Amino acid sequence: MKNACLLPLSLLTGLLLTGCGANPSSSAPASTPGTSGPLPQASECRPAGALSFSAVAVTGEAAPPGNWATPHVPGEVLVLTGRRLSAQATSALGGVSTLAVADGLLLARTPVGEADAAFARRLTQAGLQTQPNYRYFSLAPSDPGFPGNRGVRVGDRAYHQTYLTRIGAAQAWQTLDAAGRSRNGVLTAVLDTGADRQHPELAGRLLTGCTFDNRGGFTVGAPEVSASSSQGRGHGTGSAGLIGANTDNQEGLSGVLWRGNLLPVKVLGDDGASTVSLVGGLNYAAAQGARVINMSLGAPGKLSDPVLDRAITQAAQRAVLVAAAGNTSGDGIYFPASHPAVIAVGALGREDHLACYSARPGAASGSRQLDIVAPGGNAGTRDGVSTSGPGCLVSGPDDLLTLSATDQGSYVLRAGTSEAAPLVSGVASLMWGANPDLSAAEVRARLLASTRQVGTLKMLDAKAAVEAALK
C-alpha cells in the first residue's frame, strides 16, 4: 500500500495583516459641543455617608483575613476602622499614610520594607480588621483582535475575531471563572506544518515538539515549512494561534485557551504528509500526554489505510482527536476526519450554514456525517454559491483572522475547515481542563451533545460545552 499524501486544509492565505501599535492614550477626552449639564464637583464623586463600614473587633494572634496570594494592589491594605479608633489602633497606624475611601474604611499604604500580609497582621493584632485591596478585571481580553477592541488593521480597515463571539468563547471563560476553573485547558497537540517559535503570540506556549517525515525519519523541533512549500508556510502557526494565542496581552489575537502549553508536531513537510509521518506524530503526541490532538489536514477519497486506522483508534483511547473535514463540497468527508473515532469538523461561512467549500456527507465517505461545524471563513459563500464551484474560494473580509509566520506579516486572513477544526480543539481542551476526571470518550460525547442546532447542522457552543463538562 502506498503512503497517501495528505494536505493541509486551508484554502486561502489572503490578506496579510499588521498588528496595531500601542493602546491609545487614556487621557480624558476634551469636551465637545452639545454636551449638556455642568461637570460634577469633586465632592459628588465621594459623597459622605452613602456607605458606612462598621468595624469587627479582632483580638489575639489571628492571621489577617483575606487571601494575600490572590491578585491585589501591592503596597496597600484596606482597614475597617468603624466610627472610632482605639488607642492601640491609633498607635499602630501612627506614621502610616492613609486615605479615607468611605466612612469607616481606610486605604493604608504599607510601610517601605514591610510585606503587605505582615503589615496587615500587625494591624490585626492591634484590633483592626484588614483585607487586601483585591484586583478585578474586565471579562473581555485586551487583545486588539477580540471583538469590541480596536482590531488588527490591514490598510484602512480593522479586523476582529468575530468567530469567538459566534462560538460563545467569552461566555465559556466566564463559566470557568464562576466555577473556579482555569481558562488554560490541557496539553493540546497540533499536527500540522510546524509552528513559528518567534511569533510573539506563541511566546512561552510551545513545547519543543518533533518533526516526522514521509520516509520514517524524525528530528527534534517543529519549525514551519519553507516559504516555497506547497503546504503553506504559516498554516500550523495559524492553527496553533486559533487554539492558544497568548491572550489578554494587549497584542494581536485571543486564543480559545488563554495560557498553557501547545505541542507542535510537524507531520506536513514540503511534500505533504503520509501514513508514516502521521503515525509517528500520533504516537509521539500520545506519549507526550497530549489530551487533545488537532489535525487540520486530510485526503479525499475512500482510503484503505489500516496502519493509520489502527494508530487513530489507539490514540483516541487517551485523547480527543479532531480533524478538518475537507475543502471540497463534492468529495465527501476527507480521511482521517471520516474515521469514526475522530471528530469531523465542517466549516460555516459568514452565516450559519455550510461554507461553499466545506466538505459534506456523500461521495466516497458515504453516510458519514459531519460531527460538528464551526466558523471557517466565508471565502465567497453567498446565496446561489453553496458548493465549491465558480464564485467560491474567493478571499474576502469575512475570512478568519489568525496568525501567520512572522516573516509573512504575523497576521493573516484564512478560510477553510483547517480554521474551523482548531476552534473545536480549543473548546475540547477547555472542557478537559474544567473537569480532568473525564475520559476522552466522555469529553467527546459531552462536546457533541452540547452543540447548538442551526438548521440540520450542529454548531460548536463553547459555553454549553464547558457547562456540560462541569456537570
395: three-class secondary structure by DSSP = coil
Q: Does the annotation mark 418 as catalytic? A: yes
Q: pLDDT in tens for each of the 471 residues of the chain? A: 444 556 676 654 333 332 333 333 333 333 333 444 555 565 566 565 556 566 555 444 445 567 888 778 899 999 988 767 788 888 889 999 999 888 888 899 999 999 999 999 999 998 889 999 987 655 578 899 999 899 997 667 899 999 999 999 999 999 999 888 999 999 999 999 999 999 999 999 999 999 999 999 999 999 999 888 888 899 999 999 999 999 999 899 999 999 989 999 999 999 899 999 999 999 999 999 999 999 999 999 777 899 999 999 999 999 999 999 999 988 999 999 999 999 999 999 998 989 999 999 887 777 899 999 999 998 878 876 767 778 888 888 889 999 999 988 899 999 999 999 999 999 999 999 999 999 999 999 999 999 999 999 999 999 999 999 999
CA 357, CA 388: separation in Å to the nearest integer? 5
Q: Exactly one of 418, 425, 429, 450 is catalytic; which is it?
A: 418
The pTM assigned to this predicted structure is 0.76
Q: Exactly one of 235, 274, 338, 365 is catalytic; which is it?
A: 235
From residue 182, give the alpha-carbon distance in Å to each of 153, 241, 441.
31, 19, 21
From residue 202, give the alpha-carbon distance in Å to each of 97, 241, 287.
43, 7, 23
Which residues make Cβ contacts (< 8 Å) with residue 166, sequence separation at least 6? 348, 375
CA 28, CA 31: separation in Å to the nearest integer? 9
Q: Does the annotation mark 192 as catalytic? A: yes
Pick from 284, 305, 156, 149: nearest CA to 222: 284
Q: Exactly one of 116, 143, 192, 398 is catalytic; which is it?
A: 192
